[in-house]
Chain A
Amino acid sequence: KAGVTQTPRYLIKTRGQQVTLSCSPISGHRSVSWYQQTPGQGLQFLFEYFSETQRNKGNFPGRFSGRQFSNSRSEMNVSTLELGDSALYLCASTRERGETQYFGPGTRLLVL
């Protein structure tokens, strides 16, 4: 069974731009969560989607948003990028809410 896939793997943007990251969960998994990982803050929860609905949200500004499609694929969007948004963005999927999360390889975003 294929694992979680994330695209793109690497991205370079400039301040003020916006970016969209994509995550395809393991087949049959319905929940997708997003995390931001930085050296200073560690792994921080962004949001969780289940059945196309946001079920949980972390403590991030409104510039961070996401959505989930009927096939469980998810996208997250960051608008008006700031230098501090440079991070590894990880997506994780679970079959049902509350089960073990399986992570994708991540998207490394660099904001210049």
Chain B
Amino acid sequence: AQKITQTQPGMFVQEKEAVTLDCTYDTSDQSYGLFWYKQPSSGEMIFLIYQGSYDEQNATEGRYSLNFQKARKSANLVISASQLGDSAMYFCAMRERTGGFKTIFGAGTRLFVKA
């Protein structure tokens, strides 16, 4: 069965520093996609970054990068130069081709950026 694990319920980071949010996943599929979303207190889920299981390069989108280690089944999100506006919940998600593209989400990590 699909499973996404985010072991850090909450994280603190100093403004302008980098932070890594952990995500491990479990799947028997060879083809899958990994996503990170940000959810501010307003509730909307904002797409940040995507990594396909066959992508050899780690995905990057501006200040966001995904540290993809396929053998370890981990897909950690790295946020560089943290900003106060980065304070939010962050969710790791996985979508498998089998099972009809159902997406499952981890429990989330709440990030607090300190001034």
Contacts and interface: CB of A to CB of B under 8 A. Distances in A.
B47 A45 contact: no
Contacts of B37: 103
Interface string A31-46: 0010100000011010
A100 B47 contact: yes
Contacts, number: 51
Nearest to B97: A98
Contacts of B107: 42
Interface residues of B, number: 23
Contacts of A48: 100-102
Contacts of B43: 88, 90, 105-106, 108
Given A103-B37, A103-B44, A105-B42, A42 B108 contact: yes
Interface in B33-63: 33, 35, 37, 42-47, 50
Given A56-B99, A100-B47, A103-B47, 12 more contacts: A43-B91, A43-B105, A45-B103, A48-B102, A88-B43, A98-B97, A100-B35, A101-B35, A101-B47, A101-B103, A103-B37, A105-B44
